[in-house]
Amino acid sequence: MAVKIRLARMGKKRNPIYRIVVADSRNARNGKCIEEIGTYDPNTDPSTYKVDADLAKKWLSNGAQPTEVVGKIFKLAGIEK
């Protein structure tokens, strides 16, 4: 099972808010997820994010691969592999 840390879209039309989730890569973008580890709001200036660092580090150590955008958010939050 290939596990990814990626964004799941929430919010209204033209007003997206994202959840940072751990999910099987074969599931749909907003489909079933294993665990929710944070949020990301690109609508504010500057963009805001909230990440549970302990859960993120746990999933990274277990082999979950972050997507490109989530990797940038983790870098801003100071979370490294």
The CATH number given to whatever domain includes residue 45 is: 3.30.1320.10
Residue 8 is classified by DSSP as E
Count of domains forming the chain? 1
**Is the confidence at residue 1, as pLDDT, over 80?**
no
Q: What is the pLDDT of residue 30?
A: 85
Structural domain span for residue 56: 3-77
pLDDT in tens, 10-27: 999 999 999 999 999 898
* Report field, pTM of the whole predicted structure over 0.85: yes
